[in-house]
Structure 1
Amino acid sequence: MPDRPEIVCICGSTRFVDEMRAANRDLTFAGVIVVAPGEANEVITDEQKAALDALHLRKIDLADRVLIVNPGGYVGESTSREIAYARAAGKPVSFTDPV
């Protein structure tokens, strides 16, 4: 038995915030530590987006694996970069829907 729970980083388009919240809830109730994208209820600047994107890569670094929330198989540009980053770091990547 591991000395700590598994850590999963959730990635996906911000248009799927409800689906990411559901995945977060389900994983948390399953005893998993979840790191997920930050949420903003207002328009953010390009500088803020760049900072959040960089921070999310650090979250991937912390994770044991990455879960891509991709209803209908949708994977956007930012999520594609995160998938490539995770794979280059040797992190297992899984998807909620077929790609």
Structure 2
Amino acid sequence: MSSTQPLTPEEKLADAKRQLGLPHIVVICGSTRFMTEMTEADLRETRAGKIVVKPGFDMKSPHELWSDPVEAEALKARLGDLHRAKIRLADEVLVVGDYVGDSTRAEIAYARSLDKPVRFTHPEIAPDA
């Protein structure tokens, strides 16, 4: 009788991605002040044959969807959850920009806790592993 351990959810996801023949998935992280650089990184990673996920928009820019401060805080929390889900889905993280703030630092720590490789467009700003 075999004593194989059941697969973890992460192992099941990796197996499903292999079976589906999905390309490498990279999630872009960083301050939304670098949205232009994120778009450029998206272009380069996509050209290299990778699936790219990144922040969808910049809440620092005015918009009616987050003009109410109470709704904006709730949206910010939901977006944080969504971005952590993107990190779980991805095969690796690409941190864009020459600055790492508290939110990005937390995303890097989260990715590393999941054993996701983390690359930087500016390696000199990488927090210690």
User: TM-score when scaled to structure 2?
Assistant: 0.70
Partner SS, residue 58 of structure 1: helix
Tell me if 1:42 matches 2:69.
no
Of residues 62, 69, 77 in structure 1, which corresponds to 2:89?
A: 62
| RMSD across aligned positions (CA) | 1.3
| TM-score normalised to structure 1 length | 0.90
Tell me which of the two structures has the higher relative contact order, counting C-alpha pairs closer than 8 angstroms and 6 or more residues apart. Answer: 1
Aligned counterparts of 1:15 and 1:36: Cα–Cα separation in 2: 13
Number of aligned pairs?
Answer: 96
The percent of aligned pairs where both chains have the same amino acid is: 52
Q: Which has the higher strand share?
A: 1
**Max Rg structure:** 2
Counterparts of 1:57 and 1:27 in 2: how far apart (Å)?
Answer: 20
- Cα deviation for residue 42 of structure 1 reads 3.1
Structure 1 unpaired stretches of 5+: none
> Who is 2:101 aligned against?
76
Q: Which runs of no fewer than 5 residues in structure 2 stay unpaired?
A: 1-17, 67-71
